[in-house]
Chains A and B, each alone.
Chain A
Amino acid sequence: MPTRLIGPLLFALLLSSPALAADVDESALRYYAATGQRERAEAEGRRLMALHPGWTVPPEVWTDRASPPDEKPLWQLFANNDIDGLKRTIAERGKAEPGWRLSDDLARKLARKELRIALLTHAGKAQWLAVSDLAGSFGKGADVDDVELAWIVAEGFARSDRQPEAFALLSAILTRRVDPQERRATIQKALALLPMADVEQLLVMGKAGSDGTSEFAALAIDVTRGRIAAILHDEREAPLEPAEIKAFEDYARTADDPSQPGLVAWLALKQNRLPDALQWFKHAIARGGDATIAHGLAHTLLRLGHRREVEEVAFAWRGPLTNNAILFIDVLETELTKPVPPSIEPERLARYARVTLEIRSAEGAQGLGWYAYNSCQFETALGWFQRASAWQPKENTVYGQALALQRLKRQREFVELVNRYDGLFPKVVELAFAGPTEDLPGPCDRPATALAVEQIRTAAGPVHVPGPVMSPIPVSSRLMRRVAFPVAVSAENALRFPEAVRQPAVDAARSGPFERPVLVARRVGGVVAMPYEQLGFTLLPGWDGAEQPATIPAAAQPLPRGTLWASQQDTMARQAAAPVPAHAVAGAATRFRR
């Protein structure tokens, strides 16, 4: 149950508490029992049971001392819920009459009422750990006479990591209580609090009516909703009966709450019934669905291969839900970084650039950087790569930034960059040892066939995809260093683009004097050997004393087993039909190496 509903419910409970089973008038019963009138006591017990279904004769009535008649005023205070007054009176009486003792019955009921108040108070503040701590014997399902209190205690258990006890308590209610409304409410509590597998066990406890239907049939839609949720959470493998799905779809089609058709849509997407998912997501949007529904729609379109529409949906719904802004960036990023960049309308590119700046997306900025680079617009490419490096200077981004600097013959900044990432990014350092500028990767130096020129002009990219494998450069040519390396540079990346639209505030080449110029790189955990190491150069030990390079780079290390990431990678590896290989983005720049 959502926390915010607790307040009003508690209020209702406090008002209605005198009518609860725990407050059945047992005075006559107890009097007969305490005075040894067994037959009359038993008759009274039968009378009360008939009057209050679910109530049973408390076993202690046969052993308790009787409540003496002079306790009447105390009972009155008790009945008025004047707990403070009652305790004060008890204290006074105890002082005035040494040896006087409260009757067992009243003492027990007082303790009980105090416990009830404490439980309700904690529940009202959503302090569920305190509720479950106080609950005592409730956990064994021992106490369901006060059913509304039992529900609250069950909620306390469920919300404080004691689900088995919550289950035991709710199951005890179904065993011992007969009121149909209470029983249905118990199932509803269970749906809100327990795993669906537990709820299924409770549902089995339902009684069949004369027509053979379960007493919980009225809750069928709620139960189906729980089962769908379980499927979406990978907690249920068994598919639903077609009739059951049909019933839920009929309900969802006209439901006021668009999240209901949305649920049908998510189920269809989960089960890879894409046309169904598409239809239901659209229906949910039409009924007022929110940005979450739009997100589902976008993912359905993505799986159907309608990337252009994904972009529109994600763009339209980017404001209310960050997920959509991120999806908008990511879906076009894969296009932008393609080895053969597709033609993209100027207004689409402009829109993408605007969102990239708005949310300061390193992913978007490096995507635009590669797109501009592959379209031979190196000044523009540099601007985007610098932004991307300010926001997330990962290896491929710094690599693109270095390439753009080289293209623009901005040697000083290039030297600064390559030296800053010595010891960290081997691919960037490699550039310090590469051949002349004409050998730089990219489509812009290729023999200008008519077709290629046309494609470059329209920013449509080259036809020829460069091979991914770099042919080894002879050692002699590697030794012909073209740039100053190593030189001492500032260790900090000073690029900042704090304001969304302002022009690049490039501050990258700021190299001050160094008190202790550092020319030799050290080992960094998770980084493979530097390219110049094969010439016999050695690196300094790492911060932890490590002397050997990593054998595989951090980004390619195996994922911790049991994480969502690892299991999803497994799933994707199995799905040969995956639209793009897993490392397509990470490898965006690798393809240029030769």
Chain B
Amino acid sequence: MRRLALSIVALFALLVVAPLSAAQADRSTPALHGQLSDREAWRAYKARFVTESGRVVDTANGGISHSEGQGYGMLLAVAADDKPAFERIWGWTRANLFVRDDALAAWRWEPEKRPAVADMNNATDGDLLIAWALTEAAEAWGEVSYRVAARRTAVEIGRKLVVMKSSNGPLLLPGLSGFAAEDRPDGPVLNLSYYVFPAFARLPLVAPEFDWAGIGRTGLRLIAQARFGPSQLPSDWISLKGGTPQPAAGFASEFSYNGIRIPLYLAFSGFDQPRSHDVFLAAWGREGKGLALVDIGNGKPSAVLTERGYLTLPALSACASRSQAWPANLRTSAQNEHYYPTTLHLLALTAVRMRYPSCLRD
């Protein structure tokens, strides 16, 4: 009954904002389906990271799985036009992560633990990726059960995880528990890499009553404001207490494995502001030399990642902002890199083909 009563209120917006034209506008952005042309790379990815039962394994992280990885796997399956693989990964995801009382996924799953689910909390980026992948799958293959599941999760994100009417606009909480203003002294705490911009362009197809574009605009504004220390980069976790972004307490003050996805999502959404990539490109320097993670305090690299998968991120930023040609050595993914860099590699290849195909011209 909760569900019923609540869907009423949300729906008023749907009708008035733009009956049907919202959906038309969203279909005007390119679909993900079939955009990963390197089917050999996808075959290798499945063989290396996706179990028989559909679990996406984070190989560098004790072989655990998470909602984010399942979401990436589902997205790449749609991009590679591989419905059986999509069904396998989604089947595992719902049977093992959707243990909550609502339509959000428990975020962390560890094999050989009792129980395997490690935390009932959700991770909003994982839920966004799953809802987006389901939306793309429904568009690609016309499967109504995907559309229903996409809507259920999207609606749950829209009404449970978005704090309305903040001075910064609608805020996307990173998880249901532990990040809100009332949960911690420096709350609300946000993660700017949880703003999956390409998802915001497509979720209106299943949940048009929510202001996904407005959520995205807040994200863009916060990314522009969160310029900390000598490097002027955002830390992975920011506090919005008082309204102005600050590095959040209790987290490493670092531009790190989370934040490096910010320019990926910007480019993936076709965001038409070349300068938005400047700060990231400046930190990463000339491409080919490794991808720096940066200590926000002193602006110096805290680590330099040299896997090719990571190098696709500056390549994508350079392509999106400066029309730079895609480097020949990044045209396909490496076969000896871990889950995360390989996933980023395939996502970047999909994004560049979808949004900036001219960078791939010889």
Which residues of chain A have C-beta atoms less than 8 A from B11's C-beta? 295-296, 299, 323
Which residues of chain B have C-beta atoms less than 8 A from A542's C-beta? 118-119
Q: Do the beta carbons of A498 and B91 come within 8 Å of each other?
A: yes
Q: A127-B272, A266-B12, A572-B5 are in contact. Are A392 and B118 (CB under 8 A)?
A: no
* Chain-A contact segment, one of B14-22, B253-261, B296-304: B14-22
Q: Which residue of B lies closest to A303 (CB)?
A: B8
Report which of A421, A560, A586 forms a contact with B163, defined as CB distance below 8 A.
A560
Q: Do the beta carbons of B148 and A233 come within 8 Å of each other?
A: no
Q: A265-294 toward B: CB 8 Å interface, digit per residue (1/0)?
A: 010011000000000000000000010100
Q: Which residue of A lies closest to B210 (CB)?
A: A564
Task: Kindly provide the distance from the CB of A132 to the nearest chain B CB, expressed in whole angstroms.
Answer: 11
Q: A420-B115, A560-B161, A563-B164 are in contact. Are A555 and B102 (CB under 8 A)?
A: yes
Q: A323-B151, A327-B4, A580-B1 are in contact. Are A492 and B119 (CB under 8 A)?
A: no
**Interface membership of A423, Cβ < 8 A:** yes
Q: Do the beta carbons of B120 and A392 come within 8 Å of each other?
A: no
Which residues of chain B have C-beta atoms less than 8 A from A185's C-beta? none
Q: Do the beta carbons of A563 and B95 come within 8 Å of each other?
A: no
Q: Which residue of B lies closest to A390 (CB)?
A: B95
A325 and B146 alpha carbons, distance in the complex (Å) = 13
Q: Do the beta carbons of A521 and B114 come within 8 Å of each other?
A: yes
* Interface bin, chain B: 35 or more
* Interface bin, chain A: 35 or more
A561 and B180 alpha carbons, distance in the complex (Å) = 7
Q: Do the beta carbons of B3 and A330 come within 8 Å of each other?
A: yes
Q: Do the beta carbons of A568 and B9 come within 8 Å of each other?
A: yes
Which residues of chain B have C-beta atoms less than 8 A from A521's C-beta? 114-115
Q: Do the beta carbons of A326 and B152 come within 8 Å of each other?
A: yes
**Interface membership of B278, Cβ < 8 A:** no
Q: Do the beta carbons of A330 and B100 come within 8 Å of each other?
A: no
Which residues of chain B have C-beta atoms less than 8 A from A362's C-beta? 94, 98
A7 and B332 alpha carbons, distance in the complex (Å) = 38
Q: A393-B95, A516-B112 are in contact. Are A554 and B120 (CB under 8 A)?
A: yes
- Give chain A interface residues in 485-544, CB to chain B under 8 Å: 486, 491-496, 498, 500, 515-516, 518-522, 524-527, 542-544
Q: Which residue of A lies closest to B8 (CB)?
A: A299
Q: A302-B4, A516-B112, A543-B118 are in contact. Are A232 and B13 (CB under 8 A)?
A: yes
**Interface membership of A183, Cβ < 8 A:** no
Report which of B8, B94, B113, B121 forms a contact with A526, defined as CB distance below 8 A.
B121
**Interface membership of B162, Cβ < 8 A:** yes
Instruction: Report the number of A-B residue pairs with Cβ-Cβ less than 8 Å.
Output: 250
Q: Do the beta carbons of B100 and A491 come within 8 Å of each other?
A: no
Which residues of chain A have C-beta atoms less than 8 A from B217's C-beta? 161
**Interface membership of A4, Cβ < 8 A:** yes
Q: Which residue of A lies closest to B122 (CB)?
A: A554
Q: Which residue of B lies closest to A539 (CB)?
A: B114
A285 and B306 alpha carbons, distance in the complex (Å) = 61
Q: A326-B152, A560-B163 are in contact. Are A524 and B12 (CB under 8 A)?
A: no
**Interface membership of A474, Cβ < 8 A:** no
Q: Do the beta carbons of A259 and B7 come within 8 Å of each other?
A: no
Which residues of chain B have C-beta atoms less than 8 A from A584's C-beta? 1
A309 and B163 alpha carbons, distance in the complex (Å) = 35
Q: Which residue of B lies closest to A560 (CB)?
A: B180
Q: Do the beta carbons of B100 and A394 come within 8 Å of each other?
A: yes
A582 and B111 alpha carbons, distance in the complex (Å) = 35
Task: Kindly provide the distance from the CB of A498 to the nearest chain B CB, expressed in whole angstroms.
Answer: 6
**Interface membership of B206, Cβ < 8 A:** yes
A518 and B22 alpha carbons, distance in the complex (Å) = 51
**Interface membership of B288, Cβ < 8 A:** no
- Give chain B interface residues in 84-103, CB to chain A under 8 Å: 87, 91-92, 94-96, 98-103
Q: Do the beta carbons of B165 and A334 come within 8 Å of each other?
A: no
A493 and B1 alpha carbons, distance in the complex (Å) = 28
A83 and B232 alpha carbons, distance in the complex (Å) = 40
A584 and B1 alpha carbons, distance in the complex (Å) = 7
Report which of B14, B95, B177 forms a contact with A391, defined as CB distance below 8 A.
B95
**Interface membership of A262, Cβ < 8 A:** yes
A522 and B164 alpha carbons, distance in the complex (Å) = 36
Q: Do the beta carbons of B2 and A585 come within 8 Å of each other?
A: yes
Q: Do the beta carbons of A582 and B1 come within 8 Å of each other?
A: yes
Report which of B13, B53, B99 forms a contact with A394, defined as CB distance below 8 A.
B99
Q: Do the beta carbons of A424 and B99 come within 8 Å of each other?
A: yes
Task: Kindly provide the distance from the CB of B58 to the nearest chain A CB, expressed in whole angstroms.
Answer: 13
**Interface membership of B221, Cβ < 8 A:** yes
Q: Do the beta carbons of B148 and A359 come within 8 Å of each other?
A: yes
Q: Do the beta carbons of A554 and B98 come within 8 Å of each other?
A: no
Q: A331-B4, A563-B163, A586-B101 are in contact. Are A491 and B115 (CB under 8 A)?
A: yes
Task: Kindly provide the distance from the CB of A45 to the nearest chain B CB, expressed in whole angstroms.
Answer: 42
Task: Kindly provide the distance from the CB of A345 to the nearest chain B CB, expressed in whole angstroms.
Answer: 22
Task: Kindly provide the distance from the CB of A280 to the nearest chain B CB, expressed in whole angstroms.
Answer: 13
- Give chain A interface residues in 1-40, CB to chain B under 8 Å: 2-4
**Interface membership of B249, Cβ < 8 A:** no
Q: A518-B114, A543-B108 are in contact. Are A2 and B12 (CB under 8 A)?
A: no
Q: Do the beta carbons of B160 and A559 come within 8 Å of each other?
A: yes
Which residues of chain B have C-beta atoms less than 8 A from A561's C-beta? 163, 180-182
- Give chain A interface residues in 331-385, CB to chain B under 8 Å: 331, 334, 358-362
Report which of B99, B110, B182 forms a contact with A543, defined as CB distance below 8 A.
B110
Which residues of chain A have C-beta atoms less than 8 A from B162's C-beta? 563-564
Which residues of chain A have C-beta atoms less than 8 A from B111's C-beta? 491-492
Q: Do the beta carbons of A232 and B16 come within 8 Å of each other?
A: yes
A186 and B1 alpha carbons, distance in the complex (Å) = 45
**Interface membership of B173, Cβ < 8 A:** yes
A500 and B87 alpha carbons, distance in the complex (Å) = 13
A79 and B181 alpha carbons, distance in the complex (Å) = 60
**Interface membership of A406, Cβ < 8 A:** no
Task: Kindly provide the distance from the CB of B157 to the nearest chain A CB, expressed in whole angstroms.
Answer: 10
Q: Which residue of B lies closest to A161 (CB)?
A: B217
**Interface membership of B116, Cβ < 8 A:** yes
Q: Do the beta carbons of B110 and A562 come within 8 Å of each other?
A: no
A269 and B19 alpha carbons, distance in the complex (Å) = 18
A421 and B117 alpha carbons, distance in the complex (Å) = 9
Q: Do the beta carbons of A262 and B95 come within 8 Å of each other?
A: no
**Interface membership of A43, Cβ < 8 A:** no
Which residues of chain B have C-beta atoms less than 8 A from A420's C-beta? 115
Q: Do the beta carbons of B12 and A270 come within 8 Å of each other?
A: yes
Task: Kindly provide the distance from the CB of A419 to the nearest chain B CB, expressed in whole angstroms.
Answer: 8
Which residues of chain B have C-beta atoms less than 8 A from A228's C-beta? 16
**Interface membership of A251, Cβ < 8 A:** no
Which residues of chain A have C-beta atoms less than 8 A from B102's C-beta? 555
Q: Do the beta carbons of B148 and A361 come within 8 Å of each other?
A: yes
Task: Kindly provide the distance from the CB of B154 to the nearest chain A CB, expressed in whole angstroms.
Answer: 10
A295 and B111 alpha carbons, distance in the complex (Å) = 43
Q: A322-B151, A394-B98, A516-B112 are in contact. Are A562 and B120 (CB under 8 A)?
A: no
Task: Kindly provide the distance from the CB of A496 to the nearest chain B CB, expressed in whole angstroms.
Answer: 5
Most buried by B among A130, A302, A422, A496: A496
**Interface membership of A229, Cβ < 8 A:** yes
Q: B195-207 toward A: CB 8 Å interface, digit per residue (1/0)?
A: 0000000000010
**Interface membership of B159, Cβ < 8 A:** yes
Q: Do the beta carbons of A565 and B160 come within 8 Å of each other?
A: yes
Task: Kindly provide the distance from the CB of A573 to the nearest chain B CB, expressed in whole angstroms.
Answer: 12
**Interface membership of A578, Cβ < 8 A:** yes
Q: Do the beta carbons of B98 and A358 come within 8 Å of each other?
A: no
**Interface membership of A395, Cβ < 8 A:** yes
Q: Which residue of B lies closest to A391 (CB)?
A: B94
Which residues of chain B have C-beta atoms less than 8 A from A498's C-beta? 87, 91
Cβ-closest 4 pairs across A and B: A526-B120, A525-B119, A555-B101, A491-B116
Q: Kindly list 10 other residue pairs between chains A and B, CB separation below 8 angstroms, not including A161-B220, A323-B11.
A: A129-B273, A229-B16, A269-B8, A393-B99, A496-B91, A496-B95, A498-B91, A554-B176, A560-B160, A564-B162
A/B interface sample: 25 pairs, CB < 8 A: A4-B24, A130-B273, A161-B217, A161-B220, A233-B13, A266-B12, A299-B8, A322-B148, A323-B11, A327-B7, A330-B3, A358-B145, A361-B148, A391-B98, A393-B98, A422-B114, A518-B114, A521-B115, A522-B114, A555-B102, A560-B161, A560-B183, A564-B158, A572-B5, A580-B1
